Structure 1
Amino acid sequence: MAEISHFEYGWITPTLSYALSVLGSVLGLVCAGRIRTARNSRERLWWGLLSAWALGGTAIWSMHFMAMLGFAVPGTRIRYDIPITLASTVIAVVAVGIGLLIVGSGRLSVPKVLVGGVFAGSGVAAMHYTGMAAMRLNGTFGYDTTRVILSVVIAVVAATAALWLAMTVRRPLAVFGSALVMGVAVNGMHFTGMSALSVHLHPRTGEVSGTTVSTLLAPIVLAVIFVVIGLVYALIAAPTDEDRAAAAYLDARSAQAREAAAQPPQPAPDPVGLRHRSSLARPGAQFPSRRNPPPPQS
C-alpha cells in the first residue's frame, strides 16, 4: 500500500477549499432566499439555477478540486480525465438544483426538506467519488466501506441542513454564520471520503494518460471568478422588495394622473340662487310685488 499525502502544500489547499465553500454557500443561500419571494415561476427558476451553480459548482465542486491539489502519492504522477471531471461538475450542480426544486416548490415542509436533502446529498457523494474516479495514476484505488458510508451520511446531513437554511435564513449575519457551518460540513465530507482511500502502486511504472492539475487549474480558477462575479452582479441588479414597493406606488400615482386627465372638465359649483337671481336681474324682467300681485291662474 502506497503512502498518501492529503496536504502536499501544507494548510494552503484546505484553507482555500474552506474559503471557496463558504463563499459559494453565502452566494447560494442568498440566491435561494430569493426563490421563496419570487413573484412567478420564471423568477423561481432563475434564482434556483443561480443557487444551484453557487452551491453545487462553487461551494462543493470547486472546493473538492482545490482540496485535491494537495493530494499526492509519492512514486507516481497524478493526472485527470477531463470528461469524467466535467461529469462530476454536472452531477453536483444538477443534484443540488433538483434538491432546491423539491424544497422550493409549494409550501415548505419537513418531508420535502428530507427528500430534497437525501437526493442532493447522494448527488454530492456521487460527485466526490466520480471526481476520484477521474484520477489517473500508476496504481489502483481501494476504499474502506465504513468510511465511505460515513462520508455519504455526512453529505446527506450537510445537504439537508443546507436546503433548510436556504429556505429559512434571511438576515445577513445568519446567512454568514450558516455558510461557515456549511463550509465545515462540506470539507468534513470531502476529507472523510479521502480518508477511506488507499492506493496500491503497480510494480512497473508506465506513462499515465490524462491532464495534469496545472493544466486544469487556470481554466477552473477563471471559471470560478466569472461565476462569482456573475452571481454578485445578478444579486445587485435584482430589484428588492423596497424597489418593487416604490415602483408599484409610482405606477399607481401615474394611473391616477392619467385617469384625471382623461375625464372632461366639470363646471364650477353654483352658489344657491346665483343663476336664478341673475336671470331676474335682466332688463325688462318683471318682479312680483305685494302691491301688484301676479294675476291668478285660470
Structure 2
Amino acid sequence: MSGTYGTVNGFTYGWATPLAGFVMACLGAALGLRCTTRALAMPPSRRAGWLALGSAAIGSGIWTMHFIAMMGFTVGEVRISYDMLVTFESLLVAIAVVALGVFLVGFAGRTPPAVLAGGCVTGLGIAAMHYLGMRGMRLRGDLEYTLSTVVLSVGVAVLAATVALWAAVSVRRMYAGVLAGLVLGFAVTAMHYIGMAALTVHLHSDAREGAAGAGPAASLAPVLIGPVVFLFLSGVVVALDPPVGEVAPEPAPARGRRSSRADRSSRAVHASRFREGPRERQ
C-alpha cells in the first residue's frame, strides 16, 4: 500500500467546535439524567416515557457533540465526506445502547449493582457511537487506531457515565443533576478527543485528486438541525412539566396496611358503641 500519513487537525476552527460540542453534550446529558431522576419518583407504570425521553436526550447530545466536533476535523487538504446512512445509524445505536443502561437503573432501582451496570452500558454506548460515527467518514485513505488510547477513551466514558448516573439518582438535589450533566458532558467531549488522538490516517496515493468541494462543515450542518431542535424541545418539556418529589412514592402495600389497621380500629370503636347502647337503655 503506497501513500503517506496525513496531517490530522481536529481544531480547524480553533476552540469554536469543541466548545459548541461540549455545550450540546452537557445539555443532552443534563436533560437525560433529569428525566431519569423524575422517572424514579413515579410509579412504574409512568416511568417508561420519561426514561425513553432521557435516553433520546443523552444519545442525541452525544451524537451532536461528536459531529459538531467533526465539523472542525480535517486531514491536510484531503476532501472528507460522510455516509449519511452510517451517520444516522450511529445516532440510533447511541440512543438504543444508552436506553439499555438508563432503563436498567430506572426499573432495577438505585442499588450499586444496577448503577454500575447501567453506567457501564451507557459508557459503552458513548464509545460505540463515536467509533461507528467514524466509520461513516469517507476520504481517500485508511484510518488506523492506537489500541491503548482507544481503551483509555472507552474507560473514560464508562467511568464518567457511572459517576454521573450515581449522582443523578442518589443525591436528591437539583444541583446534583446539573453537576452530573456537566460531568457526563465533559466525559463525552474528553472521550471524543482522546479517541481522535488515537487516530492516524494513511493516505492513498491519489488522495488529493478531487479535493475541491464542500468541506465537512457544509455537509454536516444540515443533519445536525434535527437533533439540536429535539434537544431544545426536550428542555422545554422538562422545564414546563410540574415538579415532582425527588423521593420515590412509598409502595402501595405499605399504605394498604396502614389503611387496613385504621379501618379495623374504626370498626372496633363502632362495635363497642353498639354493644354499650342496649345496656344503657336497661
**TM-score where L is the length of structure 1:** 0.75
8 A Cα contact 2:165 2:180, kept in partner = no
Following TM superposition, by how much is the alpha carbon of 1:162 offset from its aligned partner in structure 2, in angstroms? 2.4
| TM-superposition CA deviations, 1:198-229 (whole Å, max 9, x none) | 00111113558999541331241x21342123
Moved over 6 A (4+): 208-211
Moved more, 89-98 or 209-218: 209-218
* 2:204 is the counterpart of 1:184: no
Among 7, 28, 49, the residue aligned to 1:3: 7
* 2:109 is the counterpart of 1:104: no
- In structure 2, what is the equivalent of residue 25 of structure 1? 29
- In structure 2, what is the equivalent of residue 56 of structure 1? 59
- In structure 1, what is the equivalent of residue 235 of structure 2? 232
- In structure 2, what is the equivalent of residue 76 of structure 1? 78
**Structure 1 residues 40 and 103, CA gap change in structure 2 (3 angstroms):** closer
**Secondary structure of the equivalent of 1:90?**
helix
Moved more, 125-134 or 151-160: 151-160
One-letter amino acid of the structure 1 residue matched with residue 92 of structure 2: V
Give the distance between the partners of 1:146 and 1:21, measured in 2 at CA: 25
* 2:213 is the counterpart of 1:217: no
8 A Cα contact 1:5 1:72, kept in partner = yes
- In structure 2, what is the equivalent of residue 39 of structure 1? 43
Q: Which has the higher helix share?
A: 2
**Structure 2 unpaired stretches of 5+:** 246-282
One-letter amino acid of the structure 2 residue matched with residue 180 of structure 1: L
**Structure 1 unpaired stretches of 5+:** 243-298
8 A Cα contact 1:80 1:211, kept in partner = no
8 A Cα contact 2:108 2:114, kept in partner = no
Following TM superposition, by how much is the alpha carbon of 1:150 offset from its aligned partner in structure 2, in angstroms? 0.8
One-letter amino acid of the structure 1 residue matched with residue 87 of structure 2: T
One-letter amino acid of the structure 1 residue matched with residue 221 of structure 2: L
Give the distance between the partners of 2:205 and 2:31, measured in 1 at CA: 47
**TM-score where L is the length of structure 2:** 0.79
Following TM superposition, by how much is the alpha carbon of 1:119 offset from its aligned partner in structure 2, in angstroms? 1.7
| TM-superposition CA deviations, 1:112-134 (whole Å, max 9, x none) | 11212222212221111100110
One-letter amino acid of the structure 1 residue matched with residue 97 of structure 2: A
- In structure 2, what is the equivalent of residue 256 of structure 1? none
Give the distance between the partners of 1:169 and 1:227, measured in 2 at CA: 27
More contact order relative to length (CA 8 Å, sep ≥ 6) = 2
One-letter amino acid of the structure 1 residue matched with residue 108 of structure 2: G
8 A Cα contact 1:25 1:55, kept in partner = yes
Give the distance between the partners of 2:172 and 2:214, measured in 1 at CA: 44
Cα RMSD of the aligned pairs, angstroms, is 2.2
